[in-house]
């Protein structure tokens, strides 16, 4: 192989390695974002359950009032 060909190959390998490193960093960022979104989802589901429990409690109170009348 000629020196020029080896130099070109080395440059392509270096570019590939840099691209892989950038992609790995993006993957880590997306994993963190996913983790944050999962945590936010848990919080929202807990809030939804709390509101649902309140609504069910209010509906039960209305039913009691209706049957008592």
pTM of the predicted structure, to 2 decimals: 0.70
3-class secondary structure for 10-55? HHHHHHHHHHHHHHHHHHHHHHHHHHHHHHHHHHHHHHHHHHHHHH
Among 14, 35, 53, smallest CA distance to 61 is for 53
pLDDT at 49: 98
Does the structure show a pLDDT above 80 at 20? yes
Distance CA 59, CA 66 (A): 10
Per-residue model confidence (pLDDT) at position 10: 98
The per-residue pLDDT for range 38-67, each reduced to its tens digit, is 999 999 999 999 999 999 999 999 998 888
């Amino acid at each position: 192989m000629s020196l020029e060909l080896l130099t070109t190959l080395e440059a392509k390998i270096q570019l590939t390695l840099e691209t892989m490193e950038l992609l790995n960093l993006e993957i880590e960022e997306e994993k963190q974002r996913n983790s944050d979104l999962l945590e936010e989802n848990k919080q929202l589901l807990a809030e939804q359950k709390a509101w649902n429990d309140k609504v069910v409690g209010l509906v039960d109170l209305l039913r009691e009032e209706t049957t008592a009348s």
